[in-house]
């Protein structure tokens, strides 16, 4: 593990505090049973350290809170909308912006507008809601991430989120370019462990797409984290600013979907951005049906103001360095104790490798779900399953999708926890690892037909 002094200090002062509840072990055991061993169904106040997600859990800055007070809640043409649009244009470079209530609203718009029945959407690994919207609109998702993206032990690969161009070529050769709705490139790749994509890979994907007349859209949810990895790992970018890298990143896409609840540093909101005027006009019509007016899209004026400010704050190097390196600190603590995780550590979370953590459980025992539940009982730490439960079932065969990666995501909210909190998390995981043989598998009590990880309930086998 790196010496503690090599990790950057928190680049902020704490102005407001929230006092969490600290349940004792018997209370936590009762709580997880009542939640059906699904950490999504726990009450947030019963979690001492909440690592369920980094989506909407950011601590906003004093400037963002001040921005809330100048919210213009006009139904059309809010001044805060113009501030948000200008921020997206300046930092992301897209001409047109359609606001949405959060990222999946943007996914819905893009999928509805771009997909025709029977088409394919290649992407560097699936994400749950993204794939759902694609399939709901008649497309078939195709995973085109490099093979190393599915290997938690491939620690010497700096950009495990890259798209494999050969896989794209194979797909186009098999189905034809006209059957590709668009290429979706996520930066970073959540379910691979928060893994980044290189700038060179984006250039290669863009060149491939131009050759075949295919559009390329980015899931840009954690694009600032991706920009940081490019600065640290890709030759030629070490002296570029995060803002410059982000702007170049987006220049290789026809548009992007954004969940502002991550790298835009807010608690709600998102957008669909693009350069195609016709697509923009059609999105303006559709957003009225699903979200709200084209000048607020499901957000309050105050939320748009906070996002505009957050976009500017997100490219500050001191902020993003601390954000990513705090994750690295937790990863190093666990690696030093021999705990199996996805390597190298990603930008927003440490992912425990449940297959290697619990080798006595088969994938049909739902090891990641079991491990997430056990971690809550052990330390009051709420995490999230990212394995066979999240992957869902094949809509044709009815069998589980069986991803290579069976993970528990320890997702670090932005500007919320300190290094001491990382120590508490690490100590709980290490204690659990030392008695891992005691952890039992789970089985369904209730299985929802779609996106089952949100509401499923389990019992111990």
At residue 323, the pLDDT reads 98
228 part of the active site: no
What percentage of the chain exceeds 70 in pLDDT?
Answer: 100
397 part of the active site: no
Per-residue model confidence as pLDDT tens digits over 421-454: 999 999 999 999 999 999 999 999 999 999 999 9
Per-residue model confidence as pLDDT tens digits over 232-242: 999 999 999 99
Per-residue model confidence as pLDDT tens digits over 362-397: 999 999 999 999 999 999 999 999 999 999 998 889
pLDDT over 90 (residue 3) = no
- The DSSP code for 268 is S
Residue 260 dihedral angles phi and psi, to the nearest 5°: -65, -10
pTM of the predicted structure, to 2 decimals: 0.96
pLDDT over 90 (residue 340) = yes
Q: Which entry of 53, 58, 100, 128 is annotated as an active-site residue?
A: 128
Strand-pair partners of 443: 459
Query: Mean pLDDT over residues 103-130, rounded?
Result: 96
Q: How many CA atoms lie within 13 A of 418 on its CB side?
A: 6
At residue 395, the pLDDT reads 83
Distance between CA 147 and CA 170 in Å, rounded?
15
Distance between CA 191 and CA 180 in Å, rounded?
23
CA angle 396, 401, 404 (to 5 degrees): 150
Alpha-carbon dihedral sign for residues 185, 247, 412, 51 = negative
Q: Rg (Cα) of the chain, in Å, rounded?
A: 21
CB 50 within 8 A of CB 298: no
Q: Which two tokens stand for residue 297?
A: 């899209």
Q: What is the pLDDT confidence band of residue 1, given thresholds at 50, 70 and 90? A: low
Per-residue model confidence as pLDDT tens digits over 240-291: 999 999 999 999 999 999 999 999 999 999 999 999 999 999 999 999 999 9
CA angle 250, 195, 405 (to 5 degrees): 135
444 part of the active site: no
Q: Which two tokens stand for residue 120?
A: 């394919």
Per-residue model confidence as pLDDT tens digits over 58-76: 999 999 999 999 999 999 9
Distance between CA 131 and CA 125 in Å, rounded?
10
At residue 2, the pLDDT reads 76
Strand-pair partners of 460: 442
Alpha-carbon dihedral sign for residues 134, 137, 142, 144 = negative
Residue 454 dihedral angles phi and psi, to the nearest 5°: -70, -40
Alpha helices in 20-114 (DSSP H): 25-34, 62-68, 79-92, 103-114
What does the CA dihedral 120, 124, 126, 131 come to, rounded to 10 degrees? -30
Q: Which two tokens stand for residue 241?
A: 């600013």
Q: Which two tokens stand for residue 357?
A: 């953590």
Which of 225, 199, 197 is closest to 54 using CA atoms? 225
Query: Mean pLDDT over residues 164-186, rounded?
Result: 98
Q: Which entry of 262, 302, 409, 452 is annotated as an active-site residue?
A: 262
First to last CA, the chain: 37
Q: Which entry of 54, 164, 219, 303 is annotated as an active-site residue?
A: 219
Distance between CA 414 and CA 357 in Å, rounded?
27
CB 139 within 8 A of CB 181: yes
CB 31 within 8 A of CB 40: no
Strand-pair partners of 257: 219, 272
pLDDT over 80 (residue 4) = no
DSSP per position, 161-228: T-B-HHHHHHHHHHH-GGGB--EEEESSBGGGTSB---HHHHHHHHHHHHHHT--EEEE-TTHHHHHH
CB 188 within 8 A of CB 346: yes
Q: Which entry of 126, 127, 280, 376 is annotated as an active-site residue?
A: 127
Torsion-angle region of 9 (φ positive above 0: left; ψ -120 to 50: alpha; else: beta): beta
Distance between CA 183 and CA 202 in Å, rounded?
11
At residue 104, the pLDDT reads 95
pLDDT over 90 (residue 178) = yes
Q: Which two tokens stand for residue 35?
A: 């939640």
Residue 274 dihedral angles phi and psi, to the nearest 5°: -165, 170
- The DSSP code for 22 is -
What percentage of the chain exceeds 90 in pLDDT?
Answer: 97
pLDDT over 80 (residue 122) = yes
Strands 49-50 and 381-382: parallel
Q: Which two tokens stand for residue 182?
A: 């668009």
219 part of the active site: yes
62 part of the active site: no
């Amino acid at each position: 593990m790196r010496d503690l002094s090599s990790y950057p200090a928190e680049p902020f002062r704490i102005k407001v505090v929230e006092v969490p509840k600290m349940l004792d072990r018997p209370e936590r055991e009762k709580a997880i049973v009542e939640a059906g061993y699904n950490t999504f169904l726990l009450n947030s106040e019963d979690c001492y350290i909440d690592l369920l997600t980094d989506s909407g859990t950011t601590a906003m800055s004093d400037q963002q809170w001040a921005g809330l007070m100048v919210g213009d809640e006009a139904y059309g043409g809010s001044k805060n909308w113009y501030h948000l649009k200008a921020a997206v244009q300046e930092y992301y470079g897209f001409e047109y912006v359609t606001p949405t209530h959060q990222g999946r609203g943007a996914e819905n718009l893009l999928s509805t507008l771009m997909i025709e029945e029977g088409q394919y959407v290649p992407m560097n690994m699936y994400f749950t809601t993204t794939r759902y919207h694609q399939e709901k609109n008649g497309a078939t998702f195709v995973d085109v991430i490099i093979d190393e993206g599915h290997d938690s032990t491939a620690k010497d690969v700096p950009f495990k989120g890259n798209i494999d161009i050969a896989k794209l070529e194979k797909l186009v050769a098999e189905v034809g370019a006209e059957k590709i709705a668009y290429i979706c490139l996520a930066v970073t790749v959540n379910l691979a462990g928060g893994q980044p994509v290189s700038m060179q890979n984006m250039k290669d994907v863009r060149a491939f797409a131009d050759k075949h007349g295919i559009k390329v859209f980015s899931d840009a949810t954690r694009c600032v984290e991706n920009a940081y990895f490019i600065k640290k790992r890709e030759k030629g970018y070490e002296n570029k600013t995060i803002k410059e890298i982000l702007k170049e990143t987006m220049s290789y896409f026809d548009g992007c979907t954004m969940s502002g609840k991550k790298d835009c540093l807010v608690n709600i909101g998102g957008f669909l951005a693009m350069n195609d005027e016709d697509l923009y006009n059609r999105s303006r019509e559709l957003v009225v049906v699903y979200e709200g007016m084209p000048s607020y899209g499901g957000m309050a004026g105050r939320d748009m103001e906070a996002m505009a400010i957050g976009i500017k704050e997100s490219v500050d190097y001191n902020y993003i360095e601390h954000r990513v390196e705090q994750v690295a600190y937790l990863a190093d603590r666990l690696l030093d104790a021999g705990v199996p995780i996805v390597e190298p550590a990603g930008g927003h979370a440490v992912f425990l490798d449940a297959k290697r953590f619990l080798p006595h459980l088969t994938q049909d025992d739902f090891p990641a779900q079991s491990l997430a539940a056990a971690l809550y009982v052990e330390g009051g730490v709420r995490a999230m399953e990212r394995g066979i439960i999240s992957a869902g079932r094949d809509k044709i065969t009815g069998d589980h999708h069986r991803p290579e990666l069976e993970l528990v995501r320890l997702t670090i909210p932005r500007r919320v926890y300190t290094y001491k909190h990382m120590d508490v998390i690490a100590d709980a995981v290490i204690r659990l690892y030392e008695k891992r043989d005691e952890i039992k598998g789970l089985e369904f009590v209730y299985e929802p037909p779609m996106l089952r990880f949100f509401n499923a309930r389990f019992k111990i086998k």
